[in-house]
Amino acid sequence: MEQQHAYIVDVTTETFTQAVLQRSREVPVIVDFWATWCGPCKVLGPILERVTADAGGEFILAKVDVDENQDLASQYQIQTIPTVMAFVGGIPVGQFSAALPEAQVRAWIADMLPTELDRIVDEARGAALAGDVERAERLFVSVLDEVPDHPDAATGLAAMMIARGDTQAALIILGKLPPGEEVDRLQAAARLSDAAGNDINALTAALEANPTDDEGRLTLAQALAARGEYEPALDHMLKVVRSKGPHTDDARRAMLDVFGMLGNEHALTASYRRQLASALF
């Protein structure tokens, strides 16, 4: 198919990473998997090119000839052509496999493109990275005024609040979101950060003077976790759980918060999760 616009590129297996995955971190990339012998491809191709030209750079159209790039087609499990996939931020976010009418193609692409609110969130992130915290917060808040459960704006604002110690406000914002890896991590960080100001040396000395003080041990553990000293923190928390005293459930929840901070794939999470289960049951 002959290219008709500057925002249309032919992509091969060798250039896919740069032209699609990396480029999609800057602008959405629509990938058309096609072949020269494919009749429906000849119908859909000009539609995609026309929509791309009209968009004026809102996205890139990358065309992959599956016959010449079979490894790439296999990697993305292309079983029917034409297949069209949208990439945003380096990952596929949607696809269809058919020669759709132009109106449906335009509607599908519109759903894949960032909204104005998404653009404001990106602007807020840029402001935060540049150190303009006040502007970043104003932008995040403006998005949440429109959509209170906008996930990216909510997690971005909550992260800033946690960093400055406003953990209760952060938890309120995060509470409006459905559970997820980032939400769980930030909620755990908020709860743990409350102990960040405690004096580690004083807590350690107090525990050495009274080793059976589970409340003091848990306070020390949370302070250690807030400083990123996760393994000794987990050791103390686990000891409180094993004591089967009145602070057992608090220690269990604190361990879950550390797991949330570390992520399910972390070696400490796997090891201490098994030990926690053994201690509880």
Active site residues: 38, 41
What is the CB neighbour count within 10 angstroms for residue 99? 18
| Cα 281 to Cα 272: distance, rounded to the nearest angstrom | 14
| Cα 196 to Cα 227: distance, rounded to the nearest angstrom | 6
Specify the DSSP class assigned to residue 23. Answer: G
Specify the DSSP class assigned to residue 31. Answer: E
8 Å CB contact between 227 and 221:
no
Bridge pairing between strands 91-96 and 60-65:
unpaired
Q: What is the DSSP string of 246-277?
A: TTHHHHHHHHHHHHHHH-TTSHHHHHHHHHHH
- φ, ψ for residue 100 (rounded to 5)? -70, 155
The tokens describing 140, both together, are 């995040």
| Cα 24 to Cα 187: distance, rounded to the nearest angstrom | 30
Give SS3 for 10.
Answer: strand
| Cα 155 to Cα 176: distance, rounded to the nearest angstrom | 11
- φ, ψ for residue 81 (rounded to 5)? -125, 150
8 Å CB contact between 219 and 198:
yes
What is the CB neighbour count within 10 angstroms for residue 79? 9
- Containing 20, the helix (H) or strand (E) segment is none
